[in-house]
């Protein structure tokens, strides 16, 4: 089969990006595949092109509604009509129409939670599923254990669907995450493709401040000086709202985004950002996957992320167009303690575990009474179905230790005093082959490639931004 010809016929491209052809070839050979491709390297094509050859539908398990919606929209824009996302947005009658015609769809997007519903499995059994894709597969390890345990159960469904082959796609994975993906998806002697993850067009910067007020002043001056688009990641919902308020109060087109907002409001912000109607989004880590904005110039972490994996995933949303982009980490005393507190707060407590283990009232009473958090209840029920309450407590304690170890590696990045790029690659067991011209704080950064913000009165503003620039880049 001439894959290049198929690529041009279906998508209008004459050549593959590095890694795409190798992965697609193995999928078409019937192998399970685990592929690590950096953000912006075209992971989606690795299942889209096989979808035109394989004898059945491609089922894509996707972590976020926004990611599903974006991928469906991108496929439709390329002329693909046989694509659908089965999610909570659909009205009952719309969902029933889709199920009646489910065999007509080449690409079917679904969440892990919906995939595990018995009625959904029965409907999918009526058609041929040729390939199951675990998109953003690192979520199996990073989210499944302590946030969305249904990620850990995807493999339970595969025998009922005829044991289709599996393609797991992600941009970042340590050896441990790779092992988790292989184990929980029960991959059969998989082909593992690992692409060098270094994005040479992204430079890494680090700024240290005396306190949060200095950080806020710097952020405002930076956003007033440099052109976006840009994403500012904050550790909490409250902080995201506060930072967006600072920018908008000073006339900058910005908005906040977090998981506590209504779904429609979040989609509206995403669309505004994608359409260039707002230049800055201040967000928790809820923002990013499924946001197709190739020209993001800046990713700023106002507070230190909880893990290098999280940091790299978020930084990877910059510079997908291949042009220069800048990732800036802001640090101040007390940031590390805040990060650790956020990490531990995410996990179920001993009290919650004991309450779920001893109470027969069920989720509604425990959650509505405020005894157990919704996320904690899901996680606890998963582990209690596999071990005793005491073993569950030990398991959660192990997860806490693992989180703190990963957090320590992130702190090490900020405190190393050595090449930030080499440190990040080393964490993922890769070596830096060559320092790009614009590398990082310690190797030297040239800020000239990053466009300055233009105003209607550029001439009268010139001294103003030069003064601010001297404060930013001493």
Phi and psi at 108, nearest 5°, equal -120, 120
Could you tell me the domains of the chain?
3-194 (3.40.50.300), 202-337+409-472 (3.40.50.300)
Structure confidence at residue 257 (pLDDT): 93
**Strand partners of residue 202:** 325
- One digit per residue, pLDDT tens: the chain, 474 residues? 799 999 999 888 889 998 999 999 999 999 999 999 887 778 899 999 999 999 999 999 998 777 788 888 888 888 888 999 998 778 889 999 999 999 999 999 999 999 999 999 999 999 999 999 999 899 888 777 777 888 899 999 999 999 999 999 998 888 989 999 999 999 989 999 999 889 999 999 999 999 999 999 999 999 999 999 999 999 889 999 999 999 999 999 999 999 888 878 988 898 899 899 999 999 988 787 767 789 999 999 999 998 999 899 899 999 999 999 999 999 999 899 888 888 888 889 999 999 999 876 566 688 888 889 988 998 999 999 999 999 999 999 998 998 899 899 999 998 989 999 999 999 999 999 899 999 999 999 999 999 998 764 343 344 444 555 555 555
What value does the CA radius of gyration of the chain take, rounded to a whole number of Å?
Answer: 23
pTM: 0.85
Q: How far apart are CA 404 and CA 408, in angstroms?
A: 6
The Cα–Cα gap between 189 and 241 comes to 47
CA atoms within 13 A on the CB side of 207: 25
Q: Backbone phi, then psi, for 403, in 5-degree steps?
A: -60, -45
Q: How far apart are the first and last CA of the chain?
A: 58
Task: Name the CA dihedral angle for 430, 433, 438, 444, rounded to a multiple of 10 degrees.
Answer: 90
How much is the pLDDT for 457? 35
Contacts of 78 (CB under 8 A, 6+ apart): 11
> Taking a C-beta distance cutoff of 8 angstroms, is the pair 160, 125 a contact?
yes
Three-state SS for 194?
A: strand
């Amino acid at each position: 089969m001439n894959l290049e010809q198929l690529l041009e016929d279906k998508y209008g491209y004459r050549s593959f990006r590095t890694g795409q052809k190798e992965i697609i070839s193995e999928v078409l050979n019937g192998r399970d595949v685990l592929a690590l491709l950096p953000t912006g390297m075209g992971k989606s094509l690795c299942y889209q092109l096989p979808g035109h050859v394989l004898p059945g539908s491609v089922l894509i398990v996707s972590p976020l509604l926004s990611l599903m919606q974006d991928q469906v929209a991108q496929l439709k824009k390329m002329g693909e009509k046989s694509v659908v996302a089965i999610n909570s947005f659909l009205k009952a009658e719309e969902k029933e129409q889709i199920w009646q015609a489910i065999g007509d769809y080449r690409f079917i997007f679904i969440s892990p939670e919906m995939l595990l519903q018995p009625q959904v499995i029965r409907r999918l059994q009526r058609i041929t599923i040729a390939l199951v894709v675990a998109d953003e597969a690192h979520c199996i390890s990073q989210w499944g254990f302590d946030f969305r345990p249904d990620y850990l159960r995807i493999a339970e469904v595969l025998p009922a669907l005829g044991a289709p082959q599996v393609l797991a796609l992600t941009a970042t994975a340590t050896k441990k995450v790779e092992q988790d993906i292989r184990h929980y998806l029960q991959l059969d002697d998989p082909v593992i493709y690992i692409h060098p993850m270094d994005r040479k067009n992204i430079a890494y910067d680090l700024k240290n401040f005396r306190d949060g007020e200095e950080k806020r002043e710097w952020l405002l001056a930076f956003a007033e000086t440099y052109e976006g688009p840009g994403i500012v990641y904050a550790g909490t919902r409250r902080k995201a709202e506060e930072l967006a308020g600072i920018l908008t109060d000073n006339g900058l087109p910005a908005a906040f985004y977090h998981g506590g907002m209504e779904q429609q409001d979040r989609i509206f912000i995403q669309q505004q950002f994608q359409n260039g109607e707002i230049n800055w989004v201040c967000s928790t880590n809820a923002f990013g996957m499924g946001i197709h904005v190739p020209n993001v110039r800046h990713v700023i972490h106002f507070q230190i992320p909880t893990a290098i994996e999280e940091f790299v995933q978020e930084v990877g949303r910059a510079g997908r167009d291949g042009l220069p982009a800048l990732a800036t980490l802001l640090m101040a005393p007390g940031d590390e303690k805040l990060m650790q507190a956020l990490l531990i707060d995410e996990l179920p407590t001993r009290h919650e575990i004991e309450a779920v283990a001893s109470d027969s009232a069920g989720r509604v009473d425990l959650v509505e009474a405020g005894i157990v958090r919704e996320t904690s209840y899901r996680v606890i029920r998963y582990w209690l179905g596999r071990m005793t309450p005491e073993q569950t407590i030990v398991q959660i304690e192990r997860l806490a230790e693992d989180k703190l170890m990963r957090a320590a590696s992130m702190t090490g990045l900020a405190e190393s005093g050595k090449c930030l790029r080499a440190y990040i690659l080393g964490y993922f067991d890769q070596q830096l082959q060559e320092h790009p011209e614009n590398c990082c704080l310690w190797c030297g950064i040239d800020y000239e490639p990053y466009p300055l913000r233009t105003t209607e009165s550029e001439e009268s503003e010139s001294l103003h931004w030069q003064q601010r620039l001297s404060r930013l880049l001493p």
